[in-house]
């Protein structure tokens, strides 16, 4: 496994490689969710590259950039075990030298959900992904369905800007009680961790209602809200039922794939999760 920290080194290595590169961008503090992406990339490509970079431009001023969990040694051990070929872990200075002035803005699909509660977040995500794609030049890049809006934004960006790679989406990996794995789950204390599966329970309730014939989005959201409100540690940021491609809110869930997504705060930790219906 080659661990590289500079863009020059990354380019040199990239020139020497033939065969497809599968790329997994991450912010580190790796868990089974990340490793599932790495395994999938390994299976489908001759070389697997993983980046570890806590991207400052996707964090708002009052967000958790400073305290975002980091454990590079553990991450490298886990990636070594997965037989990762290349780990790219640049410094902030390497990715954003002073006088950095170019941004990638994807419109419309970034306006709602996470985009509404985190202004500038997706501009940071789109910009760093563009830079990483340009540096690594992968045939395929792997993203988790856990961050559903991110997937929509990256797919749109790749299509709109004619980027020459395939975006592969990997299903959400969950703990045994349904909680979606996330680096941020480490913030939850014991009581909060017990309360956290309420989010997936609410999404599962939506699926059940829909399978039982309920198509009215407001009714489904209402039932989800009532369930989450029974959990005293939880407060709802948003619950949405939207077209899975355009992210426009739906009134009825019928044929087209609908993304049911929600952000819930458990204590001070914000959790996001989603399922797709149809
Ligand atoms: P992050 O390090 O949080 O930026 O995540 C890096 C990649 O891993 C993103 O594509 C995430 O969507 C994906 N990911 C994070 N958690 C999970 C999970 N529980 N299941 C599947 N993919 C995940």
Tell me the mean pLDDT in the region 197-214: 98
In this prediction, what percent of the chain has a pLDDT beyond 90?
Answer: 99
For ligand 1, atom 19, name the residue with the nearest CA: 181
Active site residue 255: no
Starting at the edge strand found earlier in the chain, the sheet holding 86-88 runs: 2-4, 86-88, 47-52, 21-26, 140-144, 166-170
Which member of 34, 121, 156, 270 is catalytic? Answer: 34
Q: What is the pLDDT of residue 226?
A: 98
Cα 149 to ligand 1 centre (Å): 12
Choose the weakest-confidence range: 1-10, 181-190, 253-262.
253-262
124 within ligand 1 shell (Cβ under 6 A)? no
The domains found in the chain, sorted by start residue, are 2-170 (3.40.50.620), 183-277 (3.30.1300.10)
| Banded pLDDT at 255 (limits 50, 70, 90) | confident
Tell me the mean pLDDT in the region 177-184: 98
Tell me the mean pLDDT in the region 239-255: 95
Distance CA 127, CA 41 (A): 22
Asked whether the beta carbons of 136 and 51 are under 8 A apart, the reply is yes
| Banded pLDDT at 32 (limits 50, 70, 90) | very high
180 within ligand 1 shell (Cβ under 6 A)? yes
The answer on pLDDT for 146 being more than 80 is yes
Cα 255 to ligand 1 centre (Å): 28
The answer on pLDDT for 208 being more than 90 is yes
Asked whether the beta carbons of 134 and 161 are under 8 A apart, the reply is no
The answer on pLDDT for 140 being more than 80 is yes
Pocket test for ligand 1, best of 22, 29, 37 (most atoms within 8 A of CB): 37
| Banded pLDDT at 93 (limits 50, 70, 90) | very high
pTM beyond 0.95: the answer is yes
Distance CA 243, CA 179 (A): 24
Tell me the mean pLDDT in the region 6-26: 97
The answer on pLDDT for 53 being more than 80 is yes
């Amino acid at each position: 496994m080659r661990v590289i920290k500079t863009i020059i080194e990354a380019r040199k290595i990239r020139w020497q490689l033939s065969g497809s590169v599968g790329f997994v961008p991450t912010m580190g503090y790796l868990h089974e969710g990340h490793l599932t992406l790495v395994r999938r990339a390994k299976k489908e490509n001759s070389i697997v590259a993983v980046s570890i970079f806590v991207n400052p431009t996707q964090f708002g001023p009052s967000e958790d950039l400073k305290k975002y969990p980091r454990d590079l040694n553990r991450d490298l051990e886990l990636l070594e075990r997965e037989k990762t070929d290349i780990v790219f872990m640049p410094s902030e200075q390497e990715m954003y030298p002073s006088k950095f002035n170019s941004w990638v803005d994807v419109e419309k699909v970034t306006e709602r959900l996470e985009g509404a509660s985190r202004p500038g977040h997706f501009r940071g995500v789109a910009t760093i992904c563009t830079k990483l794609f340009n540096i690594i030049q992968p045939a395929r890049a792997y993203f988790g369905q856990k961050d559903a809006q991110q997937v929509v934004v990256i797919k749109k960006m790749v299509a709109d800007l004619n980027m020459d790679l395939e975006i592969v989406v990997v299903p959400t990996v969950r703990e045994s009680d349904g909680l979606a794995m996330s680096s941020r789950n480490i913030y939850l204390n014991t009581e909060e961790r017990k309360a956290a599966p309420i989010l997936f329970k609410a999404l599962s309730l939506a699926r059940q209602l829909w399978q039982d014939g309920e198509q009215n989005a407001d009714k489904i959201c209402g039932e989800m809200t009532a369930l989450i409100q029974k959990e005293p540690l939880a407060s709802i940021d948003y619950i949405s039922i939207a077209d899975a491609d355009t992210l426009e809110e739906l009134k009825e869930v019928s044929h087209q794939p609908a993304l049911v997504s929600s952000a819930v705060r458990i204590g001070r930790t914000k959790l996001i999760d989603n399922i797709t219906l149809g």
